[in-house]
Every structure is written in structure tokens, then in C-alpha cells.
């Protein structure tokens, strides 16, 4: 997975599926990207929630990337 591919896919979904952006999956992607970029304080409820789901930001990105690939598959010709 390439980080820029994840950003591109998230941006594509936001543009062409505006209602999908309010979906909890995309909100989770935003939080994971903030966690990956170390923009969240250690004591925030968001990071506590993410740590309960995933062991690391890398694992969270990989899992999210797989789900986005499933959504984007028909459009990427997969």
C-alpha cells in the first residue's frame, strides 16, 4: 500500500460519493491518518478508541486500505 494511494482513494470517494464521506468508515480513515501523522494527543478519546481496535497506526492503515480497495475495485479494474 502506498500512502498517497490511500489519500487519493479517500479523496475520490469524498468527491464522487459525497454522502459516503459522512460514513463512519471515512471518519475512521481521517482519525487513522491523524494517528499515523501523530497529530492526536496521547490522552484523546479518539486515540484510545483506535488503540482498542488496532495495535499500531500501520495495522490500522493496512486494514482500512483493504476495505477501501474493496469499495474501489470496480473503478480501478480490479
Per the structure, the count of domains in the chain is 1
Residue 54 pLDDT exceeds 90: yes
In a domain, 47, yes or no: yes
In a domain, 7, yes or no: yes
DSSP 29-71: HHHHHHHHTT-S-TT-HHHHHHHHH-SSHHHHHHHHHHHHHHH
Q: Identify the domain containing residue 59 by its residue range.
A: 3-73
- What are the tens digits of pLDDT across the range 1-28? 576 777 777 777 777 766 665 567 778 8
Total-model pTM = 0.67
Give the number of residues written for the chain: 78
In a domain, 78, yes or no: no
Contact 12/5 with Cβ under 8 angstroms? no
Amino acid at each position: 500500500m502506498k500512502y498517497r494511494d490511500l489519500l487519493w482513494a479517500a479523496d475520490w470517494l469524498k468527491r464522487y460519493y459525497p454522502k459516503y464521506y459522512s460514513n463512519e468508515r471515512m471518519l475512521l480513515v481521517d482519525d487513522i491518518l491523524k494517528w499515523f501523522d501523530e497529530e492526536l494527543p496521547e490522552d484523546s478519546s479518539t486515540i484510545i478508541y483506535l488503540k482498542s481496535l488496532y495495535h499500531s497506526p500501520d495495522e490500522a492503515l493496512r486494514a482500512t486500505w483493504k476495505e477501501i480497495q474493496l469499495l474501489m475495485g470496480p473503478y480501478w479494474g480490479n
